[in-house]
Structure formats: C-alpha cells, structure tokens
Amino acid sequence: MDSSSSEIIKEIPHMIRVYKDGRYEKLSGTNTVPAGHDPTTGVQSKDVVISTDTQVFVRLYIPKTNSKRVPLLIYFHGGGFIIETAASPLYHNFLNLVSSESNVVIVSVDYRTVPDHPIPTCYHDSWDAIKWVAQHANGNGPDPWLNEYPDYEKVFFAGDSAGGNIAHHMAIRVGSEHSGMNLAGVILLHPYFWGIDRVGSEAQHPWMPGMADLWKFAHPETSGSDDPLLNPDKDPKVSDFGCSRVLVCVAELDILKDRGYLYKDILGKNGWTGDVEIIEDKGVNHVFFLYDTSADIACSLRKRMCTFFNS
C-alpha cells in the first residue's frame, strides 16, 4: 500500500480528517442513542424514515401529557454541516428536556451531512422534512403521532449553530412558498452566519482562521464567505422571512456572538417587520446548553424557549 495514501490532506479540528486516498474520519459527533421512552422526563420518541430514496429520517418526541394540540417544534441539529445526527446523545437528551419542559411535540430532522452530501443537500432534506410534516396538518398524514398531537397553527422552527442557519433558510422558504402550516416563530441558538467583513471582536477570536475554511469544505461550490447561504445580509430573499417572531440566543465567548446581534439589524433594514429578541448568556461558549443540561444557565435557556413557545 502506498504510504502516501494515509497522508492527511485536510483536517478541521474536532470535526473531520480527510486522507489523500479519499478516506475520511469524523472526529466527534458519531455516537448515537436509540429512540424510546425516557424515564427521566416521560417523553416518548421514535424514528421515522420520511424518504426511502434518501433514507432521511426524523426523530419524533411526544411529551408526557394528556393534552392534544400542543405546539410543534421542528428542530435542526448543529455540527458544522459535518458531524452529529438527530440520534446523537447530545441532541436526544436536550430535546427530551425541551419536549417535557415546554410541552411541545418535536420533529428533529436528520439531514444528510458533508462530505458525502455537500451543501445544499442539508437544505433540500430539511425542506423535504417540513413538507412531510405538513402532510399531517389535516389529520391524514402517514404518522399517527403527528396526526393526533400537534397544533399546526403553532409551529416553530429552531436550530443551533449550522442548524440555526438551516432554520433561518427554512423560515425564508416558508415565507416564499406555501408550507401548509402556520410558522409562529423561530429560535436561533448561536446561529452560524459569517461574511467577508469582520464584525465586533471576531478578528481576535482564536477560531477566526478556520471559519471560512469550514464553510468552503462544507460547500465546495460556494462563492465565498459572502455566499447568501452564509451571510444573510447578501441574501435578496431575507425579507421573505415567514413568521413575525424571532428569538436569537448568543453566548458571550462564542465567535458567532456578534453575527447574532447583526442579524437583527439585517432583518430590519431589509424590510422585515417582525419582532426580534436577542439574549446573551454571559461567561459561556458555543452551544454550552448541550453539554451540561443541568447547569442553571442551561435550564434558564430552556425556560426561555418554553416562554417563547407558549406565550
């Protein structure tokens, strides 16, 4: 075997290592846990394949409640478009808590990831999942849980990091196309947006050199850091955002913090007339709420989500 085939030609720390012979190794976010009954919260979950062609699936969560017609959350996981899945223990644990504490049905989307499926595959898969969910709005969809429990007048999107980017674009698509559901609001948790020009303290952050590199790896055909998929200020469709309420959560130590603040200005100056609330959590870093779900600051973030869903 040619020893050069084991040469590393690309590495994104904590995410992926690519070898000269085409092999790759995902460095984190590969562990999975099965769906089922969560004894701590009483939440029930199951996986449903929504496309036999792509094998894209969603993980459904039903809270322990006798209530019918509760809010519906469609969630998009993070991971730089490269790692993590809807079956990741990080997301499974987090969404069990969100479902229980907020009394919401959750559809967690397992979109296909890079490098086997470069951007824009994740956006196509996510929109297909939304359309699949919408089939249940009249009570005649393929899944009995989604026929019985959600209130389709109270549908929310949320996502963290790359998933926040996806949630943003799905909301724009709802605004420009008929989805069959009422999008009541969107929660963006530390959303992954970027651009050529530096914002706030980005230039001094230790992660700064790798940010554009990550996007280029995930989207080889990109036009660059000002790609409209990455920089909402360059997107002519941003004013189509299809709901009237947005909650953006940022973290003080996160390189993406200033992009979260800028996002509110971008929506406003482009003619969107809804309400944007931005809340910053102090002393914490990117997606902290996934790693220590019992910490007071993580509990406070989930309470914030609950208020948003049920206000």
pLDDT for residue 66: 67
Same domain, 19 and 77: no
Same domain, 50 and 5: no
In the chain, the number of structural domains is 2
Same domain, 113 and 9: no
Same domain, 4 and 103: no
Mean pLDDT of the chain: 95
Residues marked as catalytic: 161, 254, 286
pLDDT < 50 regions, the chain: 1
Same domain, 26 and 45: no
- Asked if 199 and 262 touch (Cβ cutoff 8 Å), the reply is yes
Q: Could you tell me which residues are beta bridge partners of residue 10? A: 18
Same domain, 64 and 120: yes
Same domain, 13 and 139: no
DSSP class of residue 3 equals G
Same domain, 85 and 213: yes
Same domain, 85 and 158: yes
Same domain, 153 and 225: yes
Same domain, 18 and 78: no
Q: CA 52, 186, 242: angle at the middle one, nearest 5?
A: 80
pLDDT for residue 84: 98
User: Rounded to whole angstroms, how far apart are CA atoms 288 and 253?
Assistant: 10
Nearest to 225 by CA among 202, 248, 247, 204: 202
pLDDT tens digits for range 255-287: 999 999 999 999 999 999 999 999 999 999 999
Task: Report percent pLDDT > 70 for the chain.
Answer: 98
Is the peptide bond prior to 39 cis by the omega test (within 30 degrees of 0)? no
The CATH number linked to 244 is 3.40.50.1820
Same domain, 83 and 148: yes
User: Rounded to whole angstroms, how far apart are CA atoms 198 and 32?
Assistant: 36
Structural domain harbouring 13: 1-30
Q: Cα–Cα distances in Å, from 26 out to 12, 17, 234?
A: 9, 6, 31
